[in-house]
Amino acid sequence: MLDLRSEALRAGQFAPITAGKFRMFGGGSTVVYAQGAAADGTLEHVFVERDRDGHLEIALAQRATHAYAEGGDLQVITLYDGERFEGIPGERRFRIVRFAENTIPVRLPALSTGAIALEGAPTRALLRHSTPEQMAEFHWRIAFPIMALVLAGIAVPLARLRPRQGRYARLGYAVLIFFVYINLAIAGKQALARGAIPQWLGLWWVHAVVVVLAAAILVVPRLTARLRHRLNSRRPRAAVTA
């Protein structure tokens, strides 16, 4: 499974440049756009932008070709009949170069397999090691079945409606609880991976916060209604005169 995912990511890097779509290379340092493409794959009316450590290069060419070298780790874009504008953004000095042929090498960044390997690691392997990233992945895995149980338990009392309440009266509460739940889980996983949260605490606090929130949404209105009823019942009624 991990091999298939890595191959898919690598194939996405090596996909050909499509006319009418912006394409980024080199971690976003190079942007290529072609207005059209010929039958032989030659690009027409090409725009290329390169950011070389703050030095910006913008090239416009009538046509271009692209190929791969060094086993696919290096992409070579060759521009024909165009102009290149070079300079630093914010400064008035820039240079214009007209060229008949200009070759732009773009080295593709190596794929990071750390996150993929962590996601595909067996749960037992995660428990054998105690790094923050592995514990975050472990708690993230067990969080989903616990979330299903907690949400199912909240849904039962939340679905009980008082007389004259509409069918979707509490739908907003359900959306709010789910939104808070999933965002707290994501934030908790990131904090756990950074070591900002103790490993023993994990994501258990997320479930506790959601349970308290749901209890507040379900119980507080009832307590408020009972308190109002008691206060109204203790108020003296006005005497009725004939």
Contacts of 187 (CB under 8 A, 6+ apart): none
Q: Is the pLDDT of residue 237 over 60?
A: no
pLDDT digits (tens, 9 = 90+) for 149-160: 998 888 888 777
Q: Is the pLDDT of residue 80 over 90?
A: yes
Average pLDDT along the chain:
78
The DSSP string of 7-69 is HHHHHHHTPPPPTTS-EEEGGGTEEEEEEEE-TTS-EEEEEEEEEETTEEEEEEEEEEEEEEE
Q: Is the pLDDT of residue 2 over 70?
A: no
Mean pLDDT of 160-179: 74
Q: Which of 14-23, 84-93, 100-109, 195-204 has the lowest mean pLDDT?
A: 14-23
State the pLDDT at residue 163. Answer: 64
State the pLDDT at residue 242. Answer: 45
Higher pLDDT, 210 or 159: 210
pLDDT digits (tens, 9 = 90+) for 113-158: 455 456 666 767 677 767 888 888 888 888 989 999 998 888 888 7
Checking 88-96 for CB contacts under 8 A at 24+ apart, the result is 88/54, 88/55, 88/56, 89/54, 89/56
Higher pLDDT, 102 or 16: 102
